Structures are given as C-alpha cells and as structure tokens.
Amino acid sequence: MGQDGLKRTVRVPAGPVSLEASLGIPAGAYGLVVFAHGSGSGRHSPRNQYVAQMLHQGGLATLLLDLLTPAEAAEDARTRRARFDIGLLAARLVAATDWLGERPATRHFRVGYFGASTGGGAALVAAAERADVVGAVVSRGGRPDLAGAALACVRAPTLLIAGGDDAPVITLNQEALAALTCEKRLVVVPGASHLFEEPGALERVADLALHWLTRYLAPGRTHPTHAGALDDEELASGPWG
C-alpha cells in the first residue's frame, strides 16, 4: 500500500461472532471489494491476496474477510460442513457490508464482491439481499449454482470466471448463468485448472476482475435495467476470453 493508503487488520461483528479481516484502502480509491473465500480457505489465501493487490493498483479498496471464526474453521477442516453453509456465509457477507456502510472511512464506497469456490455462491446470495448497495460481483472458479433461487434476484452485474480444464465447474457456471437475469458474463480461461495455478492464469483472472469491477463501481454508475445492456462493441473492448 502506498504511503497515503491504509492497510490494517479489523474485526467485523457478525451476529454472535466477530470475524477477522484485512482492510486495504489505496490513496484515491473509488470503490471497495469484499472477498468471499472458498472451501477451506481464508483471508490469507495467496490467490485472493494477489488479486487484491492488483485491485489496489487499479484504485479499488479491498476487505479480505475470514467468513469463519478460527474454531469454526478448525471444525470445518474435519467435517467440511460450514464451507457449504451458504446461508451462514452469505449472512456474514451481509453483516460485513453493513459494517462497511457504518464506518466513516468506508461508507462512501460503492461495494463489490469477489467470491471464490463456495464463496461465489455466498456472494451472489448476499448481493441479492443487498441489491441497493452491491454494484458488481465477480466469481473465480466459483459455485454460483449454490445460490439457488437467489440467482434470479441478483441485480448487480455479475462476471463468472471458470478454468478451461475445470469441466464440472464450467457446467455449473453455465447453469447459473442461465438463471441470472442481471447483466452477466461467463469467461472461461483456457488451460486453467480450478485453482488457476498455471502460468498466467491468475493474472488473467485479476485483469478480468479489475476490468469488470472498474466498469461497474466507478462513481455515477447505475445498475443496468436489463440483461444484455452492454452492446457488442463495448463487450469487444474488454479483455474477454
């Protein structure tokens, strides 16, 4: 973070628990992206930290949030139950979004979500619940299908990103894309696996995410009124795969 920016560890109240998060606000930031981590991961995920760094360079603040407490994460490591509790994870994203809206340092930002794996489903449920606040959603290797009926209620423009070698997730994303009625796009990154560990794959994700989030979180931007509001020429100008 630059000398005029802010980076700190914060605690976010979410019902009966308090969640740890890393808040980064670069100088001149115009929007804020809340990260919803995937299965068995957290705010220290190197992949999400890399994407967050790229967003900072593009003028976006970030909140990398632990959706589970340390005790819950330890239990989940044994049972794998909490990571699929989309209602719980989404409720905590909503709590974090409300908390950001109450803080002097962040309440003026328009909010976006970046979800990974099961966090992608939680991000879409939370976006449906805070449709008046959330300006954009990006899902990386996500499970948007887990959002279920909430998909039809999402208003925020949504970008789904899947790895070209992650066939089951591609299918689930295609099904979710059909259920979404907002501005939407599915991009498949050729040669990438579920974790985008291949050379250049994560860089591609960060580039796509920054382009999408910049487009929709910029000051003065309003929600499109229908799916397909971007014309073909405007889509062609972006870094779509």
| Average pLDDT value for the chain | 86
pLDDT digits (tens, 9 = 90+) for 64-95: 998 888 877 777 678 767 677 899 999 999 99
pLDDT at residue 229 tops 80: no
pLDDT digits (tens, 9 = 90+) for 134-149: 999 999 998 999 999 9
Q: Is the pLDDT higher at 228 or at 3? A: 3
Sign of CA dihedral 172, 213, 33, 153: negative
The confidence score (pLDDT) of residue 238 equals 40
CA distances from 9 to 12, 61, 62, 162, 219 (A): 10, 14, 12, 30, 27
Task: List the single range of 43-57, 107-121, 163-177, 213-227 with lowest mean pLDDT.
Answer: 213-227
The confidence score (pLDDT) of residue 176 equals 97
Domain borders along the chain are: 6-226
The confidence score (pLDDT) of residue 234 equals 35
The confidence score (pLDDT) of residue 7 equals 87
Retrieve residue 54's tokens.
Answer: 């790229």
The pTM score is 0.87
pLDDT at residue 240 tops 50: no
Looking at domain 6-226, what is its CATH homologous superfamily?
Alpha/Beta hydrolase fold, catalytic domain (3.40.50.1820)
pLDDT at residue 224 tops 50: no
Q: Band of the pLDDT at 44, cuts 50, 70, 90?
A: confident
